[in-house]
A and B are shown apart, each in its own frame.
Chain A
Amino acid sequence: MKNKMFVSYLNSLHNYNAQNPNSYGEKNVGNEFFEKVMVKVRLCDFIVNKLNTEVPHVIILTGHAGDGKTSIMYQVLNELDVNFNPNEKIHDITLPNNKRCRCIKDFSELADNQKKEVLEEVVHLPKKDTFVFMVSNTGPLINTFGELFSDEETESAKIQLIEAMDDNEGSCRNIMGFDICVVNVAAVDNTFFATKFLEKVIDNELWKNCDECSKKEYCHILKNQFLIQKNKDKVFDFLNYHYIWLMEYGKRLTIRSMTEQLTYMITGGYNCEDVERIDLYKNLFSNLFFGFLGTRENKKALNIIAIREANKCSYYTKRFRSDEAFLSDYSDDKYMRIFSKDVAEIIKKAEQKNGYVSGWDELLKRTYIFMNINTDEEKVIYDLEDIFSKQFKNYISLRKGLSKPSKSDFNLICDALSMIFQGTITNEQVVQITLSRDTGITQNVQLVTGTIMRKNIKLITVKSQDSQYNNNDRYILKLMISDKILGCNINLPLFNYFEELKNGVISTSIDPQLSHGIESIKAEISALEEDDEDTFELIVLKNNGTDNIILSINDKNELVEA
């Protein structure tokens, strides 16, 4: 129990046992371990740079509760060599360039009658050559800001502030006569955080005291640290992909949520004194991560938001092409071939008890997802496709800017557009825009209202707005048709849906998120130029392909083939 303090610190970061004092930023920064596990973010540099080089204005850091706003303020002040006192709500500092700056730790925590007074004062400070750097939740900020103005102006003031938060450009703008820069952390991709944080947490230096502990032979906490360390690449890759997947599917997690999941995944909610001799497989981090204890689901763990979301993904219930290697192989050394020796031993021992228990296969798959030792490139790609989706790896590489859209991505999009408009792929050269209805039944004769040459369609990547705040750039996929970039993004769910369309999966009641994406694409494309010519092109869908009929009305008012 030599590492008691640290393990108990980790446990204080999640709410499995309903005691998580340190999950609140202002408490956490005061802890001795905070410095050791803190992940430095580029947003800090962004703000420091503003304070150092720009003319005084109000910098507001806002976002979800638990998004790490207080930590960012801590980092900024640290960078500026100012001591951060978590108990002091408002304090004035002098910047290295001798300018003054008023820091407000959490505006939303001020007493209601104080808020208006404080905000009233600070918005005027830039005119007195003083910066303001404040952290605030959005709601109180928007409301109090509205209160600064007359009844007629209130609405407009609020809307302008909301616009700034939503645009999240990071530049200073004039809002109702005040110079304000709003940085909304909620709209910033934070998926990089997980691995950086975990890397610090499993740093051997923090665990060296455990060497002298009497429980070290059977301590699952130490074992988890060791196994994560040993399978670091696989674990980190998976974590990174998983959080990106969630974000793309509209389930972005806050820093606090990720922290909760990652710390719980190591300790399982146990403090050093609670560690007993139990089978190691039960509290293996790969089980804890998804809210399982061995083969059983642990309802209590699902109270942790991030665990609940991971559990909903249930990757381990999907079919993997690598299944055969461990599900239908009965040889003695099969686990040695897919896992490292330590893992294989734990699993083999567990199999004796659980081999025929329902949920065993899923347990194996969870272990496989985190700790397989496949290095064969082809197999690794198969795994990614099976765990996530066929287009996932490709999408990730486009998202990270590691590659540009390829010919096959382009074909995928064009085919999907044909499917969306006509219900079938009819022409290799063009995408025909038709006036078809979304009733689920494809109309067998359709009128073409516009034609887009495939060569005029481009899939491009655009750097995201939040890249400027981040450690890594993120790219967004967009459609460009005849040099016009469409407003809607091609996100991962759409990309996956396109792949399914290509493979002939047509579903009529798709989830609203997708139907919205497709609806926007249709709306935008249909509004593009309609061809004006006096010809009518009909597409006739038949069992054995399609016919294209082109008619026009001649001078004698007769219908002729054009």
Chain B
Amino acid sequence: MNTFPYGMDKDYVNINETKKIVSSALFGNRFKVDQTLYEYLIEFLLIFSSEKYDGENNYKFKFHKINEENANCLSYTFEPRMGLRRFIFFDKSKKVGNSKADECAYNMIRQYLFDNLVDIENKEEYVNNLQDLLHGYAVVIKKRFWGAKALLPICPEFIVCGCDPSKHERKEVDKSFSDKIQLGRVTELEIDTKFHFDKRNFLARGGELYYLHLLQGLQDESEKCSKLEALLSYMLNEPCKKLSKIADHIQNIWEKGNGFKKESLKETLKISYIPDDAYVSCEKFSIDELINYLSCQIHPINRIDILAKGVMLQIMRMMACQVANCLETEKRPWIVDMNGTSNKTIKKIAAESYINLENDFISALNKTAQRIEVPSEQYVDEIKKARRDSLDIFRLKGKEMQCIVPYKGSFERFSLSEDVIRFLVLSLVPPKEKMTLKMFLSKLYKHYNMVIGPNEYKKSVKNYGELDSSLANAFNENEFAFQKFLKDTGFLRELSDATSIVVNPYSLVDIGV
């Protein structure tokens, strides 16, 4: 089995032959079920925007340039910005272990800010306002430790890496901190350096796999690569400059106050691998869709919100591709129930096809487990684990995006929500362009294997011949419901009752490319 980037075979062998991790052997290193929807996008953007080194130059906001030397050790360097994160999240989080040193570190950063506000009377209120402003962009909160929360990645400073408090070391600091306070001297804030960044958020590296998937597709596609780089970097650097400045300023004040050197705070992480043939069949689609989507002039906040879902949808497609690949079968159609009909036919067919897809996941995991020779005593547990870290992601994230319904209950099947439809239209139809509904439906089928109308259903069921009339009617109704939804969301115009066109109404972003 070969890997991408080429030369990561050692890593692969380690995971396959030593650790026997089934899901990583199948999908790459690695998907974990606890990663939240936004974290896939955040992690992907973190790697994209981080500093990279090609042996001669440093570069950032670009994809890795792979050469013979670095192929087995791609890495990226970033700033964890713990000061900024402490400022935004500490006060609004559950305090772990009630650490005095932590509390003190938080008060220190506030103090630095008070000192930095000149000629202002009610400094506290101003600082609180800044905190509220930034906290308004929090996107992953849950009941997490403050350093593991995340912001909507609308500017580079908001893209945060995974972070884990190293409890043992922190306890030590806390203890010595109490001693120091009793002795009446607090000079250094070691506590702000005691974190682990190599664990990613809950050990997941899903965004990294997505990055590698794109990177693989961009090899020998220099034109598309520079276009995508320009668009991503525009999205991160242009629309929210001011917010970026404020965040940067707060982080700098903290670094200065604590006497930290920027360079010494930087962290470097290594990139792992994906199986080299896993996602090849959808890589061109992912890249083209992303380019189309990012070329649309949408509101900056909505752009990120919808993108997070789009990226997740593409990741779901990646998984489905690799499953089919592993089983050496055709990709399963995703029969999408648009809920437009009281007729239960579609619901049943869709639910059945979804179950088949889930079964395929399990078969692929079993096949992989046998390939890497998981010992029989661990077999059941390993498969369970692998299922959690692949199929459960597919299913839970699908449900979160309302791509798989119902949230609870039987007859699970594919559906589409407003945001996902928005992503699909904007990524399949270039800005200001149009196509007929028929063309759009066949594009959905080509890119995602999604089946909505009767034509695509016919294609998906080989040798079926003509559909019987009740089935054709049911799919027609389904297509009609989809058409109505597109019309309501402003993406469809009817030229006549027989012909509708799907339109991407947004204009092109001006990035000077």
Question: Is B a genuine binding partner of A?
Answer: yes
- Report which A residues bind B (CB closer than 8 A): 62-65, 67, 137-139, 142, 158-159, 162-163, 165-166, 184, 186-187, 250, 435-438, 443-447, 449, 487-488, 511-513, 515-517, 519-520, 522-524, 526-527, 530, 536, 538, 540, 549, 551, 553-554, 557-561
B494, closest chain A residue (CB): A186
A/B pair count, beta carbons within 8 Å: 155
27 of the cross-chain contacts (CB-CB < 8 Å) are A67-B496, A137-B496, A137-B498, A138-B496, A138-B498, A139-B498, A139-B499, A142-B436, A162-B434, A162-B499, A166-B493, A184-B496, A436-B301, A444-B136, A445-B132, A447-B242, A449-B239, A511-B488, A520-B506, A523-B506, A530-B241, A530-B242, A536-B242, A554-B118, A557-B252, A559-B113, A559-B120
Q: Across the interface, which residues of A come within 8 angstroms of B491, CB to CB?
A: 516
Interface 9-residue window, one of B196-204, B243-251, B336-344: B243-251
A511 contact set on B, CB distance < 8 A: 488
CB nearest neighbor in A for B253: A557
**Is B396 at the interface (CB under 8 A from chain A)?**
no
CB closest residue in chain A, given B246: A536
Residue from the list A63, A446, A447, A560 in contact with B118, Cβ < 8 A: A560
The 8 Å CB contact of A437, one of B136, B246, B418, B499, is: B136
A546–B299 alpha-carbon span in the complex (Å): 24
Whether A512 touches B434, Cβ cut-off 8 Å, given contacts A138-B496, A166-B501, A553-B249, is: no
B residues near A142, Cβ cutoff 8 Å: 436, 499
Separation of A446 and B241 alpha carbons in the complex (Å): 14
Which residues does chain A contribute within 8 Å of B505, judged by CB atoms?
Answer: 487-488, 520
Count how many chain B residues have C-beta atoms less than 8 Å from C-beta atoms of the other chain: 53
In whole angstroms, how far apart are the Cα atoms of A177 and B224 in the complex? 33
CA distance A446 to B136 in the complex (A): 8
Partner of B497, one of A64, A436, A530: A64
Give me the 8 closest cross-chain CB pairs, A-B, nearest first.
A516-B490, A443-B136, A139-B498, A138-B499, A138-B496, A445-B132, A445-B133, A512-B488
CA distance A560 to B118 in the complex (A): 5
Tell me the bound Cα distance from A517 to B488 in angstroms: 10
Closest chain-B Cβ to A165's Cβ sits at a distance in Å of: 5
Query: Which of B117, B154, B491 has the most chain A CB atoms closer than 10 A to its own CB?
Result: B117
A520 to B154, CA, bound (A): 19
Q: Fill in one digit per residue for B472-506: 1 if any A CB lies within 8 Å of its CB, else 0.
A: 00000000000001011111011111110101011
Contact (Cβ within 8 A) B488 A513: yes
Contact A526 B501 (CB under 8 A): no
* Cβ-defined contact, A561 with B119, below 8 A: yes
Query: Is residue B345 contacting chain A, with contact meaning CB distance below 8 A?
Result: no
Q: Determine which residue in A65, A138, A553 has the highest number of CB atoms from chain B within 10 A of its CB, and name it.
A: A138
Complex Cα distance A536/B246, Å? 8
Shortest distance from the beta carbon of B262 to any chain A beta carbon, whole Å: 14
In whole angstroms, what is the CA distance A558 to B501 when docked?
A: 55
Specify which chain B residues have a CB less than 8 angstroms from the CB of A554 in the assembled complex: 118
- Which residues of chain B have C-beta atoms less than 8 A from A523's C-beta? 297-299, 302, 506
What residues of chain A lie closer than 8 Å to B493, measured between beta carbons?
Answer: 166
Q: How far is the CA of A163 from the CA of B493 in the complex (A)?
A: 12
Q: Is B152 an interface residue (CB 8 A)?
A: yes
CB distance from B96 to the nearest CB of A (A): 27
Contact B242 A449 (CB under 8 A): yes
With an 8 A cutoff between CB atoms, is B260 at the interface? no
B2 part of interface (Cβ distance < 8 Å):
no
Which residues from chain B contact A560 at a C-beta distance below 8 Å? 117-120
Interface string of B144-183 (1 = CB under 8 A from A): 0000000010100000000000000000000000000000
Which residue of chain B has the shortest Cβ distance to A168 in the bound complex?
Answer: B495
Which chain A residues border B154 with CB–CB below 8 Å?
A: 435
Partner of A438, one of B116, B249, B252, B302: B302
User: CB within 8 A of A549: which of B129, B241, B252?
Assistant: B129
Instruction: Kindly list chain A residues whose C-beta atoms are within 8 Å of the C-beta of B495.
Output: 62, 138, 162, 165-166, 184, 186-187
**CA distance in complex: A46, B9 (Å):** 73
Bound complex: CA A67 to CA B133 (Å): 54
Contact with A along B222-242 (1 / 0, CB 8 A): 000000000000000001111
Give A435 to B158 CA distance when docked, in angstroms.
14
Residues of B within 8 A of A449 (CB): 239-240, 242
- Sample of 14 more A-B contacts, CB < 8 Å, known A438-B302, A444-B132: A137-B498, A166-B493, A166-B501, A166-B503, A435-B243, A438-B301, A443-B132, A446-B136, A487-B505, A512-B485, A519-B298, A520-B490, A522-B302, A558-B116
Query: Which residues of A have CB within 8 Å of B129?
Result: 445, 538, 540, 549
Kindly state the separation between the CA atoms of A163 and B136 in the bound complex, as whole angstroms: 43
**Contact status of A559 and B136, CB under 8 A, knowing A64-B496, A530-B241, A536-B245:** no
Bound CA span A435–B239, Å:
9
A557 to B113, CA, bound (A): 12
B435 contacts chain A at the CB level, 8 A cutoff: yes
- Quote the shortest CB–CB distance from A532 to chain B (angstroms): 9
Residues of A within 8 A of B418 (CB): 512, 515
Q: Is the pair A159, B435 in contact by a Cβ cutoff of 8 Å?
A: yes
How many Å from the CB of B422 to the closest CB on chain A? 9
B120, A561: Cβ atoms closer than 8 Å = yes
Decide yes or no: A559 and B249 within 8 Å by CB, A443-B136, A444-B132, A526-B239 being known contacts: yes
Task: Check A139 against B496 for contact (C-beta < 8 Å).
Answer: yes
| Residues of A close to B298: CB separation below 8 A | 519, 523
For window 107-157 of B, CB contacts with A under 8 Å fall at 113, 116-120, 126, 129-130, 132-133, 136-137, 152, 154
State in angstroms the CA–CA spacing of A523 and B136 once bound together: 20
Question: Contact between B120 and A522 (Cβ–Cβ < 8 Å)?
Answer: no
Q: Which residue of B lies closest to A182 (CB)?
A: B495
- Which residues of chain B are near A524, meaning CB under 8 Å? 297, 507
Q: Which residues of A contact B120 (CB under 8 A)?
A: 559-561
**Out of A67, A162, A437, which one reaches B301, CB within 8 Å?**
A437
- Interchain CA distance A202-B246 in the complex, whole Å: 72
Of residues 438 through 459 on chain B, the ones whose CB sits less than 8 Å from some CB of chain A are none
* B300 on the A face (CB < 8 A): yes
Q: How far is the CA of A257 from the CA of B133 in the complex (A)?
A: 54
Say yes or no: A65 contacts B136, CB within 8 Å.
no
A536 to B248, CA, bound (A): 13
Closest to B132 in A: A445
User: Are B300 and A435 interface neighbours, CB within 8 A?
Assistant: yes
Complex-state Cα separation, A446 to B132, whole angstroms: 9
CB B294 to nearest CB in A, in angstroms, measures 14
Q: Which of B434, B436, B491 has the most CB of A within 10 A?
A: B436
Please report the C-alpha to C-alpha distance between residue A512 and residue B481 in the assembled complex, in whole angstroms: 14
Chain A residues in 8 Å Cβ range of B152: 437
CB distance from A132 to the nearest CB of B (A): 19
Pair B489/A512 contact, Cβ less than 8 Å: yes
A553 to chain B, nearest CB (A): 6
Whether A162 contacts B436 by the Cβ 8 Å rule is yes
Give the docked Cα–Cα distance between A446 and B297 (Å).
22
Residue of A163, A184, A515, A520 near B434 (CB, 8 A) is: A163
In the docked arrangement, what's the CA distance between A561 and B118, Å? Answer: 8
Evaluate contact between A487 and B507: CB separation under 8 angstroms: yes
Q: Which residue of B lies closest to A450 (CB)?
A: B242
Residues of A within 8 A of B297 (CB): 523-524, 527
Q: List the A side residues contacting B499 at CB < 8 Å.
A: 138-139, 142, 162
Chain A residues in 8 Å Cβ range of B435: 159, 162
List chain B residues, Cβ under 8 A from A549. 126, 129
CA distance in complex: A71, B179 (Å): 96
Q: Which of B297-334 contact A (CB under 8 A)?
A: 297-302, 305
Residues from chain A with a CB closer than 8 A to the CB of B300 are 435, 526
Is B487 within 8 A of A250, CB to CB? yes
A137 to B500, CA, bound (A): 12
A559-B489 in contact (CB<8A): no
Are A538 and B133 neighbours in the complex by a CB distance under 8 Å?
yes
A513 partner residues in chain B, CB cutoff 8 A: 488-490
Say which residue of B249, B302, B434, B490 sits within 8 Å of A517 (CB atoms).
B490
From B243, B246, B491, B498, residue with most partner A Cβ within 10 Å: B498
Tell whether, in the assembled complex, residue A558 and residue B118 are in contact, meaning their CB atoms are under 8 Å apart.
Answer: yes
- How long is the Cα–Cα vector from A158 to B436 in the complex, in angstroms? 9
